[in-house]
Structure 1
Amino acid sequence: MANNYIQIEDLGRKDYKESWEYQELLFSKILDCKVKNRREDTEHDTPNYLLLVEHPHVYTLGKSGDFSNLLVSEEKLSEIGATFYKINRGGDITYHGPGQIVGYPILDLENFFTDIHKYLRLLEEMVVLTLAEYGLKAERSEGETGVWLDVGTPFARKICAMGVRASRWVTMHGFALNINADLGYFDHMIPCGIKGKAVTSLNVELGKAEINIEEVKGKLLKHFAQLFEAELHQKTEA
């Protein structure tokens, strides 16, 4: 029987590189379990994880991304307190920073369904349903992964970026939802390599100085559990 148990870990604010290395550790743990099951013809459950984190200012470039979409020099990055990493997810350039919920589902999709497109659509739907609770009509934009507002108008703007990697149906990387983000940092790049498209944040859309980020996390997790038909368990500190 497939394992629909997902361990939730809230890492708080954590350096991007440390979080990436932790993702890789959990990713490898699941892959090793799958390899062992096939080699030894056993049926040990493969674990599933969802990491939630806020990062210090950082720009990341996907494996198919164009470095020229980063519009500032190394010196300027240092000046604005940001770092840069080229990583192994899909997609182009993305910014992460304080006031943004970053989610890294590290799942064995064979525990749920083996369809990477469905996986991405469910992640998008989780965000769409969460934003609907704040009175916002969020949508997908054809040919552009992520979640947007006012699609098909001159005012289209992205509120959630996504980029994933999968190997043997095990996922890593994920989504970044702007809650109280400093949008000025997006001016230093061409977001996701898409020219002429704006970026927004939940607090801006609601006209508030700050949104309760823990409340948003709770709503995301509720919809995540429903959409993936999963049982979520929060890891508690020892």
Structure 2
Amino acid sequence: MNKKIWFRDLGLRDYKDVWEYQENLFQETVDLKIRNRREELTLETLNYLLFVQHPHVYTLGKSGDIDNLLLNEKQLAAKDAVYYKVNRGGDITYHGPGQIVGYPILDLENFFTDIHKYLRFLEEMVILTLADYGVTATRSDGETGVWLDVGTPFARKICAMGVRASRWVTMHGFALNVNANLGYFDNIIPCGIRGKTVASLNVELGVERVDEEKVKAKLLHYFARLFEAEIVAQNLEAEKLPL
């Protein structure tokens, strides 16, 4: 089993470009697994973890309800935002500057074959990271993601999650609000859940801005620990990786 994970920080990138990039990495891994099975080979599959920030974008999962987007095309344009229906699980969510988005493209057969455990590990990575900032975060029964003040009238989501998996290969992932403009969430019913709001780490800490590089480092640390993996950083320019 290959527990090495190639990490790439993509910076600020268009959502559609990164979606296509994910799809390419995902399909390469799936195709290799099919070839291994067909030809009785044991070629090693690769694992990736991408960090990125996107310009303002709303995405709707394959089981989502378009009525949870409260803007029409003209209103989207006025807010300098775009919309895509995508092939992940979950309903509607928002991505934008100040949010750390993580896309693990893993062959889970290198780790464990359990999607439920995979999602819980992603949640735990965020919960442990927030704990380092003195923020107590938890899970909410029946609602994937990471929440604050669950069971109170003030319950709010700080990290959304939605994944796709085929042949135990994953894509899409999580979005942690660090310095997010929460006003953009007013234009949707986040994750299709009414009556609950969203949170951002800087607001919870009462500061103007949280150092996002430090948050990324903590996420990577806990990701590696939970998955018992070796994180190998790749520089897009130095490696001449396409995107």
Which interval holds the TM-score relative to the shorter structure?
over 0.9
**SS where residue 27 of structure 2 aligns?**
helix
Task: Tell me which amino acid in the other structure corresponds to 1:41.
Answer: E
Per the alignment, residue 134 of structure 1 pairs with 133
For structure 1, the 5+ residue unaligned runs are: none
**What TM-score, normalized by structure 1, do the two folds share?**
0.99
Percentage identity across paired residues of the two chains = 71
**1:189-228 deviation line (CA, Å, top 9, x unaligned):** 0000000101010000000000000000000000000000
RMSD of aligned alpha carbons: 0.4
**1:33-60 deviation line (CA, Å, top 9, x unaligned):** 1011111111111000000000000000
What pairs up with 1:43-122 in 2 under 5 angstroms? 43-122=42-121
1:178 and 2:141 are equivalent in the alignment: no
**1:79-120 deviation line (CA, Å, top 9, x unaligned):** 000000000000000000000000000000000000000000
What pairs up with 1:204-215 in 2 under 5 angstroms? 204-215=203-214
For structure 2, the 5+ residue unaligned runs are: 239-243
**1:116-164 deviation line (CA, Å, top 9, x unaligned):** 0000000000000000000011000000000000000000010000000
**Would you say how many aligned residue pairs link Structure 1 and Structure 2?**
237
**What TM-score, normalized by structure 2, do the two folds share?**
0.97
Per the alignment, residue 241 of structure 2 pairs with none
**SS where residue 101 of structure 2 aligns?**
strand
Inter-partner Cα distance in structure 1 for 2:47 and 2:32 = 12
Per the alignment, residue 165 of structure 1 pairs with 164
Q: What stretches of structure 1 move > 6 A for 4+ residues in a row?
A: none
Inter-partner Cα distance in structure 1 for 2:229 and 2:41 = 23
1:149 and 2:171 are equivalent in the alignment: no
Inter-partner Cα distance in structure 1 for 2:126 and 2:85 = 26
